[in-house]
Amino acid sequence: MRISGQEKLDCFRQVCKSRRLSLTPQRVAIYKALIACDDHPRAEDIFNLVRASFPDISMDTVYRTLTKFTEIGLATLVEGCGPARRYDPITEPHHHFRCRRCNVIIDFHDTRFDALQPPESITEKYAVSSVKVTLEGVCDKCSQTVQ
């Protein structure tokens, strides 16, 4: 079940308050831009969206803010998805498909992947905090252009 934008903002405010993180206008704008995206934006994409309201905002501020959001559980970093880091405002368990041609990232849910357990050779050495599956291939749009 997806939560509404207002519920996400309420959660954002609550998490920031519990972590004693100031609710600056820039942080709010960055979070609003992140949750407004229906894809998995790069920091540059968020920067370009927020710059319309905050022309003096720096790219460094956006990077540091997105990093902080991932640290406190307001976003996740989508690893292994092309040359630039991509961010995901959906923090509930889910998985990704990435097109190797156009780099589009599609969210998907599958209980079989949710139930995956890390191998014992990993768990006896490391503390695993999450398991995410990323499938890679060619999306339907790119496969149609090849034919």
Model pLDDT for residues 86-125, shown as the tens digit of each residue: 888 888 888 999 888 888 888 999 989 888 899 999 999 9
Say whether pLDDT at 1 is over 60. Answer: no
- The CATH 1.10.10.10 portion of the chain extends over 5-78
pLDDT of residue 50: 97
Say whether pLDDT at 83 is over 80. Answer: no
CATH of domain 5-78: 1.10.10.10
Please give the C-alpha separations between residue 109 and each of 47, 94, 115, 117, 130, in angstroms, as whole numbers: 29, 5, 11, 16, 15
- The CATH 3.30.1490.190 portion of the chain extends over 93-146
Average pLDDT over residues 124-146: 87
pLDDT of residue 3: 73
Fold exhibited by the domain 93-146? Dna Ligase; domain 1 (3.30.1490)
pLDDT in tens, 17-27: 999 999 999 99
pLDDT of residue 77: 83
Cβ neighbours of residue 43 closer than 8 Å, sequence gap 6 or more: 59, 62, 63, 66, 84, 85, 87
pLDDT of residue 146: 59
> Which sign does the torsion angle of CA 137, 45, 94, 125 carry?
positive
The answer to whether the CB of 115 falls within 8 A of the CB of 77 is: no
pLDDT in tens, 26-60: 999 999 999 998 888 999 999 999 999 999 999 99
pTM of the shown model = 0.70
pLDDT of residue 34: 94
State the burial class of residue 142 (Cβ atoms within 10 Å of its Cβ: 0-12, 13-18, 19+): middle
